[in-house]
Amino acid sequence: MTGVVLTGIGGALPDNHVSNADLAGLMDTSDEWIRGRTGIAGRYWSRTTSTGDLAVAAGRRALDSAQRDEVDLVVLATTTPDHPCPATAPAVAARLGLGPVGAFDVAAVCSGFVYALAVAKGFLAGGLARSALVIGAETYSTILDREDRSTAVIFGDGAGAVVLCAAEPGTPASLEHIDLGSNGEDRQLVWVPGGGSYERTHPGADRSTRFAMLGREVFRTAVTRMAQSSEAVLRRSGWTTADLDWIVGHQANERILGAVADRLAADRSKLIMNLDRVGNTSAASIPLALLDAVTSGLLAGGDRLLLTAFGGGTTWGSATLVWPEVKAEPADLIPT
């Protein structure tokens, strides 16, 4: 089977930084309360920048990092598309000048980037494409109830992207194995109840288009599912936690990431985290964390990584990756 390698990475953030002190002026909260429960000190919220705008900027940075101006496929993971219809990915591809390539969205909430990696890997390994731009992009600030401190303090906006290319089997620095899972019976743990066909076809249905989450249940379920998925993908890869150089989890909550590391009997010093500065950016969180690690010099070619995420649906997924030698620029700050 054809191998798959990562050849470029990029990211983008709206330039409107929102500190915990800023939120304390909007709701009953404090910097101490937010940091103590989440580990987050700040996040970026868009004013006029859409998910598509962030995806284009991140995609362009990833293409520059890979030193290429074309790909065969664009896969965009997002829960906050520019429009309910059509998908945002075709417009992103067009704005990047990629021509009439295949382009579509993937909706798996915070697991979206891992799901998008799996889709792109399947296309490349199966010979349906030779290269792919995989993007995670979100503007969660557009769906938050800004008076709900249980959710509004957690989420931020941003986009991260990688370029994947087909390679000979056994090529060093490859995307190794992926594990995916879901449980639709838990869909109400993380959701936006209104705005879809269910609400329009069921009298009395919840019509709210604001994001809602059952925090305690999400915490427990996320830790369990991420740990189980991580163990599964490590087995498929023939790796143990001792073989890992870094663990890059979805940047949901510092306590969740620490608990997952503990379940895996992994040293917490292996966790890569940037949620303190950008918050939970959902599908964008893993690529943005990877980008920060690259541009800070933390990641080196040949490092063995575990990626793992949990999101609404509920969905979860993990991947193993041998990091390549890539050069990248820090996340682009988009005027908003």
pTM of the complete model: 0.97
pLDDT at 198: 93
pLDDT at 1: 67
Sign of CA dihedral 91, 251, 288, 183: negative
Q: Which of 16, 20, 274, 280 is catalytic?
A: 280
pLDDT at 2: 85
pLDDT at 172: 77
Please check whether residue 252 is in contact with residue 280, taking contact to mean a CB–CB distance below 8 angstroms.
Answer: yes
All residue ranges of the chain with pLDDT < 50 are none
Respond yes or no: is residue 110 known to be catalytic: yes
Instruction: Compute the distance between CA of residue 176 and CA of residue 248 in angstroms, rounded to an integer.
Output: 15
- Taking each helix axis as running N to C, give the angle between helix 285-295 and helix 112-125, from 0 to 180 degrees, rounded to the nearest 10: 80
The runs of H, that is alpha helices, within the chain are: 20-24, 31-38, 51-66, 89-95, 112-125, 149-152, 197-201, 215-237, 254-263, 275-278, 285-295
- Domain 175-325: CATH class, spelled out: alpha beta
- For tokens 């001792």, name the residue: 242
Backbone phi and psi for residue 306, each to the nearest 5 degrees, phi listed first: -115, 125
Instruction: Compute the distance between CA of residue 123 and CA of residue 4 in angstroms, rounded to an integer.
Output: 10
The runs of H, that is alpha helices, within 167-242 are: 197-201, 215-237
Two structure tokens written together for 41:
């000190």
3-167 and 175-325 in the same fold: yes
Please check whether residue 159 is in contact with residue 133, taking contact to mean a CB–CB distance below 8 angstroms.
Answer: no
Respond yes or no: is residue 83 known to be catalytic: no
pLDDT at 115: 98
Position 325: which residue type? E
The topology (CATH level 3) of 3-167 is: Peroxisomal Thiolase; Chain A, domain 1 (3.40.47)
Please check whether residue 272 is in contact with residue 246, taking contact to mean a CB–CB distance below 8 angstroms.
Answer: yes
Two structure tokens written together for 63:
């293409």
| Contacts for 173 with CB less than 8 Å, ≥ 6 apart | 5, 6, 301, 302, 322, 323, 324, 325
Instruction: Compute the distance between CA of residue 148 and CA of residue 146 in angstroms, rounded to an integer.
Output: 5
Q: Which of 16, 165, 177, 250 is catalytic?
A: 250
Instruction: Compute the distance between CA of residue 196 and CA of residue 11 in angstroms, rounded to an integer.
Output: 30
> Domains of the chain: which residue ranges?
3-167, 175-325
Respond yes or no: is residue 250 known to be catalytic: yes
Q: What share of the chain is helix, strand, coil (3-state, %, to 5)?
A: 40, 25, 35
Q: Which of 20, 110, 165, 253 is catalytic?
A: 110
